[in-house]
Chain A
């Protein structure tokens, strides 16, 4: 089934990306990092939520992003996804400068995200939610004629199975529990077949068992998917991440391996030293 003519978003191949959804990437990305930020800043009035951040995420990495409340993690995610525009700096996706691109273009080029607060289509069923994500890549989203879109449908079944929502396919998203909504968020993000997956606190509100399942799911992702993950649960981050960047007051404090981060005095101070000030500041990132 081919996508209809016109720019309806269906099957748009991201530049330099694989044509299909499953073929391994990385042949061109071997040289350039999957994602690179150079001097990225975002100011809200006098508040420097993100301040001259340099970040390089190598292709296929599981990169953790941690920091105390208000460090600018969620803002940084929104800058990468294109929900927010940068005040200064450039963002590269592979070899492509995406700084000026709109959010939906970035999504088509392979950036996919789960939001800190679930953002779903509540009146629609779980299956319809996932289909919306899957049909853009695997179906014919602009078709005004009813279609079964079997490829997208199969992909949805597969993803719902993977996140553990198969039995809930015909329930509306509004009826799901908090943890289930998080799972559906992840199914939606994966249905876009991302090459860069941004996970903003994916385990928040999940039970221990659900959290474990999530870790397994992320570990099982092919190497063609680069993952950047913000997570409060440091156990999850240390378990998953091959590299960790610590953000503090909008700036990069440290980038290193999990053991580097664990042993860093500066990190400990950032976390502990601001413990009582945390409550004073309203986190700019989605609080």
Chain B
């Protein structure tokens, strides 16, 4: 069987991403590492928003919980790869299971408000629990990731470590999205009552999707701790959650790679362009968001969809 164009393109992008540290300056490599981290958060959110139809405003909570878990573990136990990432993934999944059990019973705007409330609750918890999180000072002094005992200090090596985690997390979501389980999630997104009349119990599927999204967000949080070596409450706050949702909408909800592009744009504007605009990055983000909603109702991914549809309409 010949690989599809999508697979070929994905492989090409992966090769380019892997070669980056060899040709790009450390600062830019660092930004790219940040993009990968944020992109994985956005992709995990897209599983909820775009595929299951559950718009969450509290998804940064699981990202932050993963980050704190990885950071705390690195400081107090071990920073040996991939232990902090695994622990972050598990923590994200556990937190999502505990809160999702309640959240997925609602849908639409109620789900949005409920996840917002859960996110705020966890944010307050992180503020108060100073002995573990460092409170508003943040969790700092996180040691570098160690591989076989020696710390990864070169930006390029850290980047490769993060790239590996990103690819793994992305691949899991991609596989699930293409599975019968993923098809059920789309069915729930498009017509939940009908799914019930077809004999599906939507609750189970939504909870499983929520936990999976929480786990991958936790993994992304672990990446953040490894890359930034500092975790603050802002990382699990509303702003991060809203930016992740913004990335998903700009990129095109429902297509995982679209969410990656959206995340790249958000990080570039916030971290690369923002400082040059005297801190007016959020303003630019707002404009981009409005433009995206008006001009690209289906995000970047909608552009590719147009091309495919046009091709399909031509006689075969």
Give A contacts to B, CB under 8 Å: 7-9, 12, 81, 83, 102-104, 107-108, 112-113, 115, 119-124, 128, 131-133, 135-137, 139-147, 149, 170, 188, 192
With an 8 Å Cβ cutoff, the count of chain B residues facing the other chain is 25
Q: Is the CB of A144 within 8 A of B199?
A: no
> Per-residue CB proximity of B161-188 to A under 8 Å, as 1/0?
0000000000000011011111110110
> Per-residue CB proximity of B184-207 to A under 8 Å, as 1/0?
101100110111111111001100
Q: Which of A104, A120, A124 contacts B200 (CB 8 A)?
A: A104
Q: Is the CB of A140 within 8 A of B191?
A: no
Given known contacts A9-B201, A119-B191, A123-B190, is B196 in contact with A107 (CB within 8 Å)?
A: yes
Q: Is the CB of A107 within 8 A of B199?
A: yes
How close is A263's CB to chain B, nearest CB, in angstroms?
Answer: 36
> Per-residue CB proximity of B102-146 to A under 8 Å, as 1/0?
000000000000000000000000000000000000000000000
Q: Which of B180, B183, B190, B199 contacts A108 (CB 8 A)?
A: B199
Residue of B nearest to A170 (CB): B312
Q: Which of A104, A128, A170 contacts B183 (CB 8 A)?
A: A128
Q: Is the CB of B204 within 8 A of A7?
A: yes
Q: Is the CB of A192 within 8 A of B190?
A: no
Q: Which of A9, A83, A103, A121 contacts B186 (CB 8 A)?
A: A121
Q: Is the CB of A113 within 8 A of B179?
A: no
Q: Is the CB of A81 within 8 A of B197?
A: yes
Q: Which of B180, B198, B199 contacts A149 (CB 8 A)?
A: B180
Residue of A nearest to B193 (CB): A119
Residue of A nearest to B212 (CB): A144
Q: Is the CB of A192 within 8 A of B193?
A: no
Q: When chains A and B are docked, how far (Å) is the Cα of A49 from the Cα of B222? A: 57
CB pairs A–B below 8 angstroms (20 shown): A8-B205, A81-B197, A83-B193, A83-B197, A102-B196, A104-B199, A104-B200, A104-B201, A107-B196, A120-B191, A120-B194, A121-B191, A123-B186, A124-B186, A128-B186, A137-B199, A141-B181, A144-B176, A145-B175, A146-B179
Residues of B within 8 A of A146 (CB): 175, 178-180
> Per-residue CB proximity of B266-287 to A under 8 Å, as 1/0?
0000000000000000000000
Q: Is the CB of A192 within 8 A of B187?
A: no
Q: Is the CB of A192 within 8 A of B198?
A: yes
Q: When chains A and B are docked, how far (Å) is the Cα of A133 from the Cα of B194? A: 10
Q: When chains A and B are docked, how far (Å) is the Cα of A21 from the Cα of B125? A: 53
